[in-house]
Amino acid sequence: MRSPSVLATLTRGVGAGLAGTAVMTAFQRLVEQPLTRRPDSHAPAEVAEALLPVHSASPAGRTRLNWVAHFGFGTVWGAGHALASRAGLRGQRAVHVVFALGYPADVLLATALGVYHPGRWSRQDWLVDVLDKYVALQATGFVHDRFLVPRR
């Protein structure tokens, strides 16, 4: 059986990343934020504005940009998982390798752009950030491996 093309691999990863981001968002809204009383984060929009020539002109525009960036960044995690899968990693091994590489890169990029200030974060801030992204990657891996990868 032939391996799927890189484009097919990335397309599956993007789909899994979108699904994983939807699960993370539901987790944030229904579990994490009610427990922590944390307001919505606009970090995705801030990172997008720092990286791209896009800027929101209104609160509604900022909210739209935040959602697009939120799901857009989730597709990057999905693509990473798909590439790990293509390299032969499956299941929890793939999830943990992608998380171990992706999470520090995520924090370093947002910090370098002045969006994150992890030196000022409380233990709860760290726990929330790690847990939310871990939930997203677990869901991404599950959807990818269970539904999107062709059976071998």
Print pLDDT tens along the chain (152 aa). 688 899 999 999 999 999 999 999 999 999 999 999 999 999 999 999 999 999 999 999 999 999 999 999 999 999 999 999 999 999 999 999 999 999 999 999 999 999 999 999 999 999 999 999 999 999 999 999 999 886 65
The reported pLDDT for the residue numbered 152 is 55
Query: What is the rounded CA–CA span in Å between residue 33 and residue 10?
Result: 31
The reported pLDDT for the residue numbered 3 is 82
Burial of residue 4 (CB within 10 Å: 0-12, 13-18, 19+) is: middle
Structural domain includes residue 76:
yes
Domain of 59, in residue numbers: 6-148
The reported pLDDT for the residue numbered 140 is 98
Structural domain includes residue 1:
no
The reported pLDDT for the residue numbered 151 is 66
The reported pLDDT for the residue numbered 150 is 67
Write the DSSP symbol of residue 55.
Answer: -
Structural domain includes residue 114:
yes
CA gyration radius for the chain?
A: 16
Q: Quick one: CA dihedral 112, 24, 138, 48, positive or negative?
A: negative
How many degrees, rounded to 5, is the angle at CA 52 between CA 121 and CA 95?
Answer: 55
Q: What number of other Cβ atoms are within 10 A of residue 1's Cβ? A: 6
Structural domain tally of the chain? Answer: 1
pTM of the complete model: 0.94
Structural domain includes residue 42:
yes
